[in-house]
A and B are shown apart, each in its own frame.
Chain A
Amino acid sequence: MAASTPETLADIRRQQAQRLRQAEIRRLLARIVFIALLIGCTIMFMAPFVWLISASLKVRAEVFNNELIPDPIAWENYINVWQAAPVLAWLKNSVIVGFLAAATVTLSCAAIAFGFSYFRFPGRDTLFGLVLATMMLPGAVTMVPVFLVWNGLGLVNTQVPLWAGNLFGSAFYIFMIRQFYLSLPRELFEAARVDGASYLQIWRHIALPLTRTALIVVFIFEFKASWTDLIKPLIYLYNTALFTLPRGLKAILDQFGQGGEMQWEIVLAASVIVTIPMIVIFFLGQRYFMEGIATSGLKG
């Protein structure tokens, strides 16, 4: 090893500085790649919606012309949809049904999943296997028997069958919330037990707050599922006044698509009307679920 001279010391310092600069450049490069990726993906993912909005504002003859900016801008498409159908009433129905469906499923699944993850009792895993099994049978074949149940209860042509099934939970969400519960340290609950808390209290005051993220995700997913569901409103509702938006959208679609002559501009404008409230709800909801994490105590 060479004796240390002022030169070599300077070298080392220079090397250090260089390394720092290299690290800085690497960080900068990483940052650029990151931003490029983000922007690229954003453009790719925004494209369908931009296309949808743009096409919905075009006149009939230009819907598929691939131009970004409609010329002329056909606001009348929206006016036509609005006039052709009680969109406001359908919107209200969708909000009510969606809220009931999401609220009931979130609560019931949170309770059921707790039963399947915290408690230990014989046959539990077999029963949980059954929960999973219910996801695996295509809905088309149980549709008629389920319809007969609601019919037997005299609830056909009401909005009840659209959400009330959720009182009993839903396999997908039970499974999902259970995964979240399982990631919580069991000692948290045991400590509360020792302090004399009841099972209901543990669930209410420990399990629920700690899995707020998951619950909001469930709420958003189910709200979206209910919001876009066509089959249930199609088979259970006969009165136009009870329709939800997708069912109304189908009526509009069939109305403006008679004889094979599809009036796409109307259909697309109606699609935008269906989508926008959902975007607003998601935008607000996701903010809460991200904030929920910061305050849930999971950090420390």
Chain B
Amino acid sequence: MFGSKSRTVLAVLAIILVAVAFPIQRTSQAQGEVTGTLNVMGFSLPDEIATVRVDQFKAAYPDVTVNITEGALDEQQFLTAIASGNAPDVVYMGRDVLSSYAVRGAIVPLTECIDSMGIDMSQYREAAVAQVTVNGEVYGIPEFFNSIMLFINNKALADAGLTLDDVDVSDWDKVAEINQALTRIEDGTLTRIGFDPKLPEFLPLWAKANGVSLLSEDGRTAQLNDPRVLEALQFTVGLHEPAGGRQAFMAFRDTWDFFGAQNQMVSDQLGVFPMEQWYMNVLANVSPDADITFKAFTDREGNPLTYVTGNTWAIPRGSANPEAACAWMKTMTSVDTWVAAATTRAQMRAEAGTINTGVYTANRAADEVIFSEIVLPALTNETFKTGVEVILSVQDSAYAIPANPAAAEFKQAWQDAVNRVLNGEQTAEEALAQAQEEAQAALDEAWSQQ
């Protein structure tokens, strides 16, 4: 009995050694026809925008069996799958982390896929394509395109005797002024924040507005110690002062009914803040009658500016069906597919009698059709119509942190620095100097991986 058990042990140990030494690589099948199974990881089917497009793919490629492991991509899930040779055929991930995987060879360049499938890369927005381009090669096909604009509470402006023209983020002195004027403290208790700069998340936006990117264009040199970053950080941290400092500010902000009908815009708890466009959709649902105005965020020269985020499709190393994966990426992001999904959404919203603020894709050609033919003609609510128009007008002025293989660590470096300043643990100079050192070390190490 013991003998057979120890044999089992030996066998299993041998398997471990073999598995560790030779990760199983599945061979890719012959090129040409698109058939077989397509395993998709990192994607969910939350709404009609997702399901309609999947249905379009299934109609176009009836010979492919689509198997979606639902749920957002989890690093542990993805890494164990790749390491053990169980790679999915196509994966859906944030554009900010793509280059980390690209440099380490976890996903493959799409040059061949783009050529053979005839994917027209010029239809996608440049800022998004730049996020998925590493060392001159394209590694991903971009999906959504999230932008930022200013959300303004009209009642607060009226109370303070201000007009919309006073909300001008190109003039930072003015921003500090209206922040002071819009902040309301009653009986020693903060009841309205004047201007929320959204730290730490939006530091890259404020720095860019001040004329500098946190990272050089080639993604190799951190620029966190640039005096313009310092100025942006000191300015935005200073915006917390009238509220009574960071702690009072945060404690109050945490009490907002952010996703509810009593949200801070309706309840007059906030004057102005920059925010991602999806929040417009939230407001359109929970408080369609809110007295608010949307306005573009601008740099200090008055040019519109937005900080872009979004997801992308990519093909992992070891994908067993790269042809189907390529067909999938092309279909999911094509003009026809996006338009079909947007049409379905428009119909559903019309039936339910709710406001449709549209869907914002990284495909410029698709967006043109969606907004000029589907969304804007049907949009009667003036407030949200302005919002949609503002988003459309800023999309070409998008800024993203350049692609780099240490994205997560780079982000930790600058976000922790902002937090240390906000928490009063360090001065802005000290925090940024430390962040610069950490970020540069991480970048150097990550680039040396390839």
Binding site for B on A (CB under 8 A): 60-65, 143-145, 147-149, 151-153, 156-157, 231, 234-235, 237-240, 247, 250-251, 254-256, 258-262, 264
Are A256 and B46 in contact, with the CB atoms below 8 A?
A: yes
Tell me which residues across on chain B come within 8 A of A231, comparing CB atoms: 76
Asked if B84 is an interface residue, CB under 8 A from chain A, the answer is yes
B interface residues, tally (CB under 8 Å): 46
Known contacts A152-B19, A235-B76, A264-B259; A144 and B83 CB within 8 A of each other: yes
Q: Is the interface of B mostly helix, strand, loop or mixed?
A: mixed
Are B257 and A65 in contact, with the CB atoms below 8 A?
A: yes
Of the candidates A151, A240, A264, which one forms a contact with B86 in the assembled complex, judged by CB atoms under 8 Å apart?
A: A151
Tell me which residues across on chain A come within 8 A of B276, comparing CB atoms: 259-260
Inter-chain CA distance A255–B144, complex, in Å, is: 15
Of the candidates B18, B81, B278, which one forms a contact with A260 in the assembled complex, judged by CB atoms under 8 Å apart?
A: B278
Are B257 and A261 in contact, with the CB atoms below 8 A?
A: no
Tell me which residues across on chain B come within 8 A of A65, comparing CB atoms: 257, 260, 262
Say how far A81's CB is from chain B's closest CB, in angstroms.
Answer: 13
Asked if B20 is an interface residue, CB under 8 A from chain A, the answer is yes
Of the candidates A143, A234, A250, A259, which one forms a contact with B144 in the assembled complex, judged by CB atoms under 8 Å apart?
A: A259
Tell me which residues across on chain A come within 8 A of B45, comparing CB atoms: 255
Are A239 and B67 in contact, with the CB atoms below 8 A?
A: yes
Residue pairs across A and B with Cβ atoms less than 8 A apart, 7 shown, are A64-B260, A149-B12, A151-B84, A153-B15, A239-B67, A240-B68, A250-B71
Asked if B427 is an interface residue, CB under 8 A from chain A, the answer is no
Tell me which residues across on chain A come within 8 A of B80, comparing CB atoms: 143-144, 147, 235
Inter-chain CA distance A148–B20, complex, in Å, is: 7
Binding site for A on B (CB under 8 A): 12, 15-16, 18-20, 24, 39, 41, 44-47, 67-72, 74, 76-77, 79-81, 83-86, 88, 144, 146, 257-262, 276, 278-279, 281-282, 285-287
Are A147 and B16 in contact, with the CB atoms below 8 A?
A: no
Are B260 and A62 in contact, with the CB atoms below 8 A?
A: yes
Inter-chain CA distance A152–B282, complex, in Å, is: 47
Say how far B155's CB is from chain A's closest CB, in angstroms.
Answer: 19
The closest CB in chain B to the CB of A156 belongs to B86
Tell me which residues across on chain B come within 8 A of A255, comparing CB atoms: 44-46, 70-71
Are B16 and A149 in contact, with the CB atoms below 8 A?
A: yes
Are A234 and B260 in contact, with the CB atoms below 8 A?
A: no
Of the candidates B20, B70, B79, B146, which one forms a contact with A240 in the assembled complex, judged by CB atoms under 8 Å apart?
A: B70
The closest CB in chain B to the CB of A264 belongs to B259
The closest CB in chain A to the CB of B261 belongs to A61
Inter-chain CA distance A39–B279, complex, in Å, is: 43
Inter-chain CA distance A247–B77, complex, in Å, is: 12
Inter-chain CA distance A9–B361, complex, in Å, is: 99
Are A254 and B18 in contact, with the CB atoms below 8 A?
A: no
Tell me which residues across on chain A come within 8 A of B16, comparing CB atoms: 145, 148-149, 152
Inter-chain CA distance A114–B46, complex, in Å, is: 51
Inter-chain CA distance A156–B82, complex, in Å, is: 13
Inter-chain CA distance A199–B359, complex, in Å, is: 70
Tell me which residues across on chain A come within 8 A of B79, comparing CB atoms: 144
The closest CB in chain B to the CB of A230 belongs to B74
Tell me which residues across on chain A come within 8 A of B257, comparing CB atoms: 61, 64-65
Are A148 and B19 in contact, with the CB atoms below 8 A?
A: yes
Are A153 and B12 in contact, with the CB atoms below 8 A?
A: yes
Inter-chain CA distance A157–B15, complex, in Å, is: 18
Inter-chain CA distance A65–B259, complex, in Å, is: 10
Are B259 and A251 in contact, with the CB atoms below 8 A?
A: no
Say how far A119's CB is from chain B's closest CB, in angstroms.
Answer: 16
Tell me which residues across on chain B come within 8 A of A240, comparing CB atoms: 68-70
Are A261 and B282 in contact, with the CB atoms below 8 A?
A: yes
Inter-chain CA distance A156–B15, complex, in Å, is: 14
Inter-chain CA distance A259–B262, complex, in Å, is: 21
Tell me which residues across on chain A come within 8 A of B86, comparing CB atoms: 151, 156-157, 238
Are B259 and A60 in contact, with the CB atoms below 8 A?
A: yes
Inter-chain CA distance A147–B79, complex, in Å, is: 11
Tell me which residues across on chain B come within 8 A of A64, comparing CB atoms: 257-260
Inter-chain CA distance A264–B279, complex, in Å, is: 15
Tell me which residues across on chain B come within 8 A of A149, comparing CB atoms: 12, 15-16, 19
Are A63 and B77 in contact, with the CB atoms below 8 A?
A: no
Inter-chain CA distance A152–B85, complex, in Å, is: 10
Tell me which residues across on chain B come within 8 A of A251, comparing CB atoms: 44, 70-71
Say how far A96's CB is from chain B's closest CB, in angstroms.
Answer: 20
Are B71 and A254 in contact, with the CB atoms below 8 A?
A: yes
Of the candidates A147, A152, A254, A259, which one forms a contact with B15 in the assembled complex, judged by CB atoms under 8 Å apart?
A: A152
Are A147 and B278 in contact, with the CB atoms below 8 A?
A: no
Known contacts A147-B84, A251-B44; A63 and B76 CB within 8 A of each other: no
Are B69 and A239 in contact, with the CB atoms below 8 A?
A: yes
Inter-chain CA distance A251–B278, complex, in Å, is: 20
Of the candidates A147, A235, A261, which one forms a contact with B281 in the assembled complex, judged by CB atoms under 8 Å apart?
A: A261
